[in-house]
Chains A and B, each alone.
Chain A
Amino acid sequence: MRIAAGVDVGSTQTKAVIMSDNGGVKITARALVDTGANVQRAAERAFDTCCREAGLHASDVGFVVGTGYGRYKIAFGNTQMTEITCHAKGASFLCPGTRTVIDMGGQDSKAISVGANGEVLDFVMNDKCAAGTGRFLANSAEVMGISLDEIGPLSLKAQHPVKMATVCTVFVESDILSYLAQGKTGEDILGGVHIAIAKRTLSLARRLNIEPEIAMTGGVARNLGMVRALEDVIGRKILVSPDAQFIGAAGAALFALEKLDQSFESSIWRGDHAASGRH
């Protein structure tokens, strides 16, 4: 039985997934920790927790692929790949038939066109500034004094969603305060916030040919309000895997499994030997 792992070191959270291939590929364990100030430690913690979860010893894991912003900090990783490539791979495994991936990360939003084999056909990411990324939601919640998990459900109760002038993660505060001063309800404001981001994300995705199935990945996918808002503006059903926030790590783990499979001859590693050569 081949056992491999993927570790996705994001700016806020670090995720690890262990996968095994015993006739059929499946996720055997997952772990999630806050990245915090020590990236390297976060990666180790996530990986160790995951091994414990799976009742394995680190040495049982044949190959580890790192991804995410902190990927080059993963000391124990065998190689690394960008989360774009890994999200595509992971999504087409966890949400079969995926042709478009939408991911709202902390600093980056991305949309990816995915091929039949889970390869990246094209991708786009948010502009220079981080306006409209997942962070926007977090800040909105902070300003309203509500926990991140509550804002989605609340936003669904909006009667007359407000118009947001900016999706700047920082200036959202003054806009929200103005609306509160005008006596708008929290539901309507959050409704406006979700719609604003949904539209921003759609206009990002429009740079690609948006083809069904559309899958949403990353932690924000757990926000039902965000998923609904996106479905409304896109006018299509969106697939959300229960493992949405582990999709990057899962994709990395899948590549790690392929790596263990000697019959798989891909030059996709060449670039990354170059990479590991450098880092």
Chain B
Amino acid sequence: MPLLAGIDCGTSFTKAVVLLEENGQPRVVGKGRTRSGVKVDDAAAAALEQALGEAGLNRREVEYVAATGFGRYGVTFRDIQVTEITTAARGAHSVIPQTSTVLDIGGQCTRAIGVTDAGRVRVFKSNDKCAAGSGIFIQRAAKYLEVPLEDVGELSLRATHPQPISSVCAVLAETEIINHVSAGITVQDILRGIHESLADRAGALLKRVEMKDQLTLIGGVARQAGIARALEDRLKVRVNIPADCDFVCALGAALLGIRRLVGKRSTMETGAGEYAN
């Protein structure tokens, strides 16, 4: 019964999942979450301890640690690192088995991931050319419009005449918002417009990965800001949001850890493994 940990070192939060594998059935026994701060290693350790504490287990019992996310190379006690795209696909697939497409609206970068039935990445497309299509844009807009992020979704639903945001630069998009505001357009309509333009940008990415009728949405900002509704309206898809969506990548990492640990040796020497030692 191997005990594994998956640690997702995101830009703002570090999340850990502890997984116990009993007769081929992985079971989550603990979760931990902490601010990333400057020292990735410390945050990772802290998150892991938290998860172990929840499980009433001991660090020594952990056989294998898979790190993912922005800071994955900073985790010195890792056995392997995997990118957050691979782990997002794997994690999303395990919590929502029918997942065929994952949309991750992160702070600066929105990613669409096409997933195989086995939960592996088929194709993916990132939009990091300009952040106008990413979460940080919604955050800034909310800040400027003096609206708390968690109210954004609620408000945008009350829009009557959505005002599209056309600019492709996040900062110029803010100018547009300013102009809308000074033109006396309501906060609701502006927020709705932002949601729709975000949804359209995401839609462009999703087309590139041949999205089917359903998609699994992860990424904190998107969820808080309630963009799911806009996505459903604009893209005519069913949007699924995993419960504790924050841990999807950590979970995916742990699951891939299992494959590496008990899975075929053949994949052990892959280049992706090179960093591990």
Contact = CB atoms under 8 A, between A and B. Distances in A.
B118 to A, nearest CB: 31
A58 interface: no
B171 A129 contact: yes
25 contacts: A11-B174, A11-B178, A37-B146, A37-B181, A38-B181, A39-B181, A39-B182, A70-B182, A107-B171, A128-B172, A129-B130, A129-B172, A130-B169, A133-B171, A135-B171, A168-B131, A170-B108, A170-B134, A171-B108, A173-B107, A173-B108, A173-B136, A180-B38, A181-B70, A181-B71
A268 B181 CA distance: 30
6 closest A-B pairs by CB: A130-B171, A170-B131, A39-B182, A129-B169, A170-B170, A37-B181
Nearest to B172: A130
Contacts of B134: 170
Interface of A is mostly: loop
Contacts of B131: 168, 170-171
A242 interface: no
Contacts, number: 62
Interface residues of B, number: 27
A83 B182 CA distance: 18
Interface of B: 11, 38, 40, 70-71, 73-74, 107-108, 128, 130-131, 134, 136, 144-146, 169-172, 174-175, 178, 181-182, 187
Given A11-B178, A70-B182, A170-B108, A37 B170 contact: no
B12 to A, nearest CB: 10
A69 interface: yes
Contacts of A38: 181
Contacts of A107: 171-172, 174-175
Interface residues of A, number: 25
A174 B131 CA distance: 11
B61 to A, nearest CB: 29
Interface of A: 11, 35-40, 69-70, 73, 107, 128-130, 133, 135, 168-171, 173-174, 177, 180-181
A167 to B, nearest CB: 11
B171 A69 contact: no
Nearest to B40: A181
A35 B174 CA distance: 13
A174 B108 contact: yes
Nearest to B144: A37
Given A170-B130, A177-B11, A36 B171 contact: no
A129 B178 CA distance: 16
A107 B175 CA distance: 8
Given A40-B182, A129-B172, 8 more contacts: A11-B178, A73-B182, A128-B172, A130-B172, A168-B131, A169-B171, A170-B136, A170-B170
B148 to A, nearest CB: 14
Contacts of B11: 173-174, 177
Q: Which among B71, B145, B178 has the highest number of chain A CB atoms within 10 Å?
A: B178
Contacts of A73: 182
Given A129-B171, A174-B108, A69 B74 contact: no
Contacts of A173: 11, 107-108, 136
